[in-house]
Amino acid sequence: MLALVALINASYRTPSNKPGWTDEREFLEGARTNSAALGAELATGRYLIGRHADGPIAACARLALEKDGAWYVGSVAVKTAQQGRGTGREILTEVERQARAADVPALRISVINLRHELIAWYERRSFVRTGESEPFPYDDPSVGRPLRDDLSLVKLEMPL
């Protein structure tokens, strides 16, 4: 579990001068997750883990079943050194493959409204904006400390 926490935190709060495509330091500071939050997520879903050969974890995606049978996809993270090499696309392709095999009707994801390049990346992978958004969880310390007051979450869906 510690390796997964480390991957997610490094991916979303890139600890280098070269931020990756999932970096949120412009909007949030502090840890993206911790062992307690990850444990709570595992109680209601699972993580798909991606590795190269027998190496360390290179990518992950959280999968949670929604009431209508759709899968909510969250915490899509790729090791910073692997970003831009197709690893994110590979993990998302595997999520989609497993969802289709399980007759899941749709995949859903939420993205911070100001992450235009990330929203566009998901749209290139067949996600469409639902037209809905939800408030950013400002009172949830497990997502870090917001640096702005104009954050919300844009909802996207991939019908299967």
Q: Is the pLDDT of residue 72 over 60?
A: yes
Are the C-beta atoms of 108 and 154 separated by less than 8 Å? Answer: no
CB atoms within 10 A of CB 30: 15
Lowest mean pLDDT among 22-36, 60-74, 116-130: 22-36
CATH number at residue 13: 3.40.630.30
**Number of structural domains found in the chain:** 1
Q: Which residues pair with 159 in a beta bridge?
A: 106
Task: Quickly state the pLDDT bin for 16 (edges 50, 70, 90).
Answer: low
Burial 75-94 (b: 16+ CB within 10 A, else e): bbbbbbebbeeebbebbbee
Q: Look at residue 95 in the predicted model and tell me its pLDDT.
A: 97
Q: Tens of pLDDT along 102-143?
A: 999 999 999 999 999 999 999 999 999 999 999 999 998 888
Q: Is the pLDDT of residue 20 over 70?
A: no
Domain hosting 135: range is 2-159
